[in-house]
Amino acid sequence: MTARWIGTSWKMNLTLSEAETYAQSLSHSLRSRPELTAGVQPFIIPPVTALSAVRGVLGDSSQRPGGIKLGVQNAHWEDSGAWTGEISVPQAVDAGAEIVEIGHSERREFFNETIRTTRLKVRAALKHGAWPLLCVGEPQEVRARGHASEYILGQANGALEGLSPEQLSTVLIAYEPIWAIGASGRPATSAELIEPFQALREQFGGHVASLLYGGSVNPHNAQDLLAMKDIDGLFIGRAAWTAEGFTEILELAASA
Ligand code: PGA
């Protein structure tokens, strides 16, 4: 079986010292308990301000506990230039990113991310040897009308159009229904996930590296989610914003 990808985005949280403390604590747990990451590809996506500090604590990729990977929450599609406030994939990679998160619903909703920009960013990530982590997910109204699968396949096909099989094989897709994300969201039930994951599996199974679920993942639902046959991994927000929270979910995954 291929590894389950289990990771977290810290979103706009944690100062440098908090990030270092998190990384030290996680590093200690993963080094002392290698069983926590057996069959798991763990990852952390800190805010970009803390990326190189986290890399400093965890060490170079070859010596990291559990082989943990690092990423960024967004990156521009151009390599460089006059794009005030943005960072490029080469800059992200230089600072330690191996994963580029693309198209999170918060970026689509508040920062004008479109299918076109997600496509450009996927290509930029691949060009520089990073794993694109493409997020897709429907709003509540679309789900209520019964069009969730069609909507997310539209997002995924739009972003991944024209990629070679080799390129697709390093893409990760996270299905994150918008109504399930964040403090005002509610976790999706297993029943609600069957159809969208089947749709993603039919289209991308065996082609992309992994299909993850995200949206209010927590210690109560992590094992049930991982037990679903079409879910290969978990993308966690709030529940993994402390090292203890992340470790607890890794423990549950290991004992599932
Ligand atoms: P949450 O965030 O776990 O806090 O709901 C998930 C996400 O946005 O990826």
- The pLDDT tens digits of the residues spanning 148-174 come to 999 999 999 999 999 999 999 999 999
Give the pLDDT band (50/70/90) at residue 1: low
**H or E element at residue 5:** strand 4-9
CA angle, residues 23, 132, 241, in degrees to nearest 5: 30
Span 80-98, average pLDDT: 98
Q: Tell the residue nearest (CA) to atom 2 of ligand 1.
A: 237
Which residues on adjacent β-strands are paired with residue 9?
45
Q: What value does the mean pLDDT of the chain take?
A: 97
| Position with higher pLDDT, 1 vs 189 | 189
Tell me, using a 6 A CB cutoff, whether residue 90 lines ligand 1: no
**pLDDT band, very low/low/confident/very high, at 256 (cuts 50, 70, 90):** confident
Name 72's Cβ contacts closer than 8 Å, sequence gap at least 6. Answer: 45, 48, 51, 87, 92, 95, 97, 99, 100, 101
238 in contact with ligand 1, CB cutoff 6 A: yes
> Mean per-residue pLDDT for 5-13?
98
pLDDT in tens, 110-152: 999 999 999 999 999 999 999 999 999 999 999 999 999 999 9
In which band, very low, low, confident or very high, does the pLDDT at 72 lie, cut at 50, 70 and 90? Answer: very high
User: Contact, 209 vs 171, CB < 8 A?
Assistant: yes
Tell me, in angstroms, the distance from the centre of ligand 1 to residue 183's CA: 9
Domain 4-255 architecture: Alpha-Beta Barrel (3.20)
The domain limits of the chain are: 4-255
Ligand 1 pocket residue status of 188, Cβ below 6 Å: no
Q: 66 in ligand 1 pocket by Cβ < 6 Å?
A: no
82 alpha carbon to ligand 1 midpoint, in Å?
A: 31
Against a cut of 0.95, is the pTM above it? yes
118 CA → ligand 1 middle, Å: 19
* Ligand 1 pocket mutation pick from 6, 13, 217 by most atoms within 8 angstroms of CB: 217
C-alpha dist (Å) from residue 199 to 12, 168, 170, 171, 232: 31, 17, 19, 17, 14
Q: Which residues contact 215 (CB under 8 A, 6 or more apart)?
A: 137, 176, 177, 179, 180, 181, 185, 187, 188
